[in-house]
Structure 1
Amino acid sequence: MKSYEFRYGPKLISGPGSARRLGPLFPPGPCLFVTDAIVRSLGLADEALDCLRESGAEPAVFDSVEQDPSLGTLMAAVRAGQGCVSVVGFGGGSPMDVAKLAAYLLGSGDDLDALWGVGKAVGQGLPLALVPTTAGTGSEATPVSVITVGSSEKRAVSSAALLAGWAILDAELTLGLPREVTAATGLDAAVHAIEAYTSARLKNPMSDLLAREALRLIDANLIRACDRPDDLEARGAMLLAAHLAGVAFANAPVAGVHALAYPLGGHFHVPHGLSNALMLTHVLGHNMHSAMPLYAELGVLLDPSLQPLGQQGQAAGFVDRLAALTRSAGLPQRLSEVGVAACDLDLLAAEAMKQERLIVNNPCPISEADARRLYEAAL
């Protein structure tokens, strides 16, 4: 038995309609409500906003969060939250990431430039609740906020001080999501589970337990949710899977797939989940020698018929099953389908090397030459 630490994350409120329980969580007074324009236009936030008002919280709505939120957006949210006593993040990973860091900055008064990296935020943020409307990022469960600085550089603040007090999982908010969003966010959650299970740093039995269950739920429910977008049971299972994977990787951090995915989002504006899906099997292949026993365990978990095979066959079966899952979900299979060309590979490889906090967690080293080779394989 090795020593380890594990943090469970926010208090969880789950079930259809649970977003209507948001109001009583906060004291009366102004509440910064961080979301995006699409969520507002679809009316997904209406009942939550009404609930806050009925409980005496006065929502100050900030709905200008974009995909891959910028530093300018974060600081605009902080300005909108001046005088607020609580914060809600409502939407996908981008609004929740902005809400986490805005809540911390508003409560602590710290200088953002001193916070980039791991464990540097040690102050006290405002009371925070996070409500995901997609089943993928697990951001409601993690102490990480990723912000785009400049035109393409992604920086992160990772600290327990960013953890929300409450996470609300309401599957009704995810009903009817388009297939491409359902598929990409679901594969994002799968990557979180896989990378937590194989993380070279801080791997622990609690994260392993959650990662295995998350992956099992995704394998059983992702295509069902894609094919039947109003299937509440499948949507709920995917939302739970994303949350479990989020708690897992909050304690056993993600690695090479994410390191290679971030430049695709920063330079080509590929949605994060799709970026992960495009690089997943290529990085798994790169890691195979080092992570084969763990991939074999996950292979048998998802497909018990692999049990009679040797370890190599079980691990290969796992990679094949994930490749089949991305195809069945209808996601693009090649980088060329999302605008990447051969002339971009050097840039992408150099940018991936900047993700040092992620690459260090990979079970097998990734050099700049390795990164370029993997991008080329995915092209």
Structure 2
Amino acid sequence: MDPFTFQMTKILFGVGESSKIAGLLKDHKAAHVMLVTDKNVWAAGLTRATEAAIAEAGITLTLFKEVVADPPSHVIEAAAEICRERGVDTVVAIGGGSVLDTGKLVAYLAKNRDRLDDIYGSDLATGERLQLLLAPTTAGTGSEVTQIAIATASTGEKKAVVSGGLFPDWAILDPKLTLGLPTDVTFATGIDAMVHAIEAYTSKIKKNPISDQFALKALALLSTNLKKVLMNGSDIEARSEMLLGSMLAGMAFANAPVAAVHALAYPIGANFGVPHGLSVALILSSVLEFNRDGAEALYAELSDVIQPGYRRRTDAADAAAFIAEIEATCRACGVPDSLSAVGIGEGDLSKLAEDAMKHGRLLVNNPRELDYDQVRAIYARALEGRRGASRP
């Protein structure tokens, strides 16, 4: 067995457990907290109880609710500057992936004089950070348990900061915070979480026995419960299992990184303003089809997870069934059949492929090596949708 490392953070999980955030802050002797969120989460009232509890605990509170999707660097740096000016010692982030990623970067930048543009990449953020607590309101990104934060750089590109120092002190997972998620956000983030599990399980370089177990359990929970919450968004048990699955997938890919699906999804979001989860869903089946030759046995194993008891006689048949079932899930969730549905045309494919090739830190994890022509062919297949009869 090859050597491996596995990292994770402290977790508080359960219905209503977000009510304990103020207690955790007192335990950590927090004196001044910045609460990071976005206007939609704040308007929905999802931060109100935490705000009140922090005030009741006698802890000074600064509210920052200016986070937007795919947060631009200037928003993150502005929040960090507020932290420095006001003497904030702890960051609490409540929201979706963009909010949680912003919270991580704010906690780091507020403690250091590093420029965000200088720390994109792996292990370049080497300083300390403020205390950090994260509470997700979506079952999708798994950001609350990863050492990765995605931001939009000054160039307009989506870039990642990857550093062990970004693991939070606590991840607080309360399924009640996900009850109000709109259907489109539920399916997009749910599919994204499934892809985290799939790509972690097939990750070429750092796949390991612990990440495998988390990925398998995550995919089982997510594939079983996604359809349940789409039919009944108030099903708290299904919401709980979705949130648990998302967290486990996050733990898996924090240690066995994601690959080509995400590398090809980022340019779709950056160039066409498509939400990340939908970008992932749009490119997913085309990447899986390309990867089949390099991951056939692993896809066969995953087929048994999402269709227990339906194993065929060969890995080839099982892998094909797995891809077909994933595509069926996307269609059931309303994912468009073609990239053209989000405004992408033939003339855009070269630019998308060029941008995808910049995500080398992800492409190296893919079970099959990819060059520019193959990446462009995958985009072309996704543009053709079900009309595309050939594999790239």
Q: Which residue of 1 aligns with 2:292?
A: 288
Q: Which residue of 2 aligns with 1:377?
A: 381
Q: Which residue of 2 aligns with 1:190?
A: 194
Letter in 1 for 2:352: L
2:59 and 2:170 map into 1 onto residues whose CA distance is 16
Letter in 2 for 1:376: A
Q: What does 1:57-136 correspond to in 2, within 5 Å?
A: 57-82=59-84, 83-136=87-140
TM-score, length basis structure 1: 0.97
Offset from partner CA, 1:140-195 (integer Å, 9 cap, x none): 01001111113531111101001100001111111131110000000000010000
Offset from partner CA, 1:174-220 (integer Å, 9 cap, x none): 11311100000000000100000000111101000000000000111
Letter in 1 for 2:124: K
Offset from partner CA, 1:31-62 (integer Å, 9 cap, x none): 11110000011111101111111222222111
Shift of 1:251: 0.2
Secondary structure (helix, strand or coil) at the match of 1:59 reads strand
For this pair of structures, how many residues does the alignment match?
Answer: 378
Confirm or deny: 8 A CA contact 2:9 2:171 kept in the other structure: yes
1:25 and 1:81 map into 2 onto residues whose CA distance is 20
Offset from partner CA, 1:240-259 (integer Å, 9 cap, x none): 11100000000000000000
Q: What does 1:1-379 correspond to in 2, within 5 Å?
A: 1-7=1-7, 9-26=8-25, 27-82=29-84, 83-150=87-154, 152-379=156-383
Offset from partner CA, 1:290-344 (integer Å, 9 cap, x none): 1101000001122134323211001111101101111111222321111111111
Shift of 1:117: 0.8
Secondary structure (helix, strand or coil) at the match of 1:364 reads coil
Confirm or deny: 8 A CA contact 1:253 1:361 kept in the other structure: yes
Confirm or deny: 8 A CA contact 1:180 1:331 kept in the other structure: no
Confirm or deny: 8 A CA contact 2:30 2:90 kept in the other structure: no
Cα 1:178/1:113, change in 2 over 3 Å: closer
TM-score, length basis structure 2: 0.94
Secondary structure (helix, strand or coil) at the match of 2:110 reads helix
Structure 2 gaps of 5+ residues are 384-392
Name whichever of 347-356 and 305-314 sits farther off. Answer: 305-314
Confirm or deny: 8 A CA contact 1:74 1:98 kept in the other structure: yes
Secondary structure (helix, strand or coil) at the match of 1:361 reads coil
Confirm or deny: 8 A CA contact 1:135 1:174 kept in the other structure: yes
CA root-mean-square deviation: 1.1
Confirm or deny: 8 A CA contact 2:73 2:116 kept in the other structure: no
Confirm or deny: 8 A CA contact 1:40 1:63 kept in the other structure: yes
2:110 and 2:30 map into 1 onto residues whose CA distance is 17
Confirm or deny: 8 A CA contact 1:62 1:80 kept in the other structure: no
Secondary structure (helix, strand or coil) at the match of 1:195 reads helix
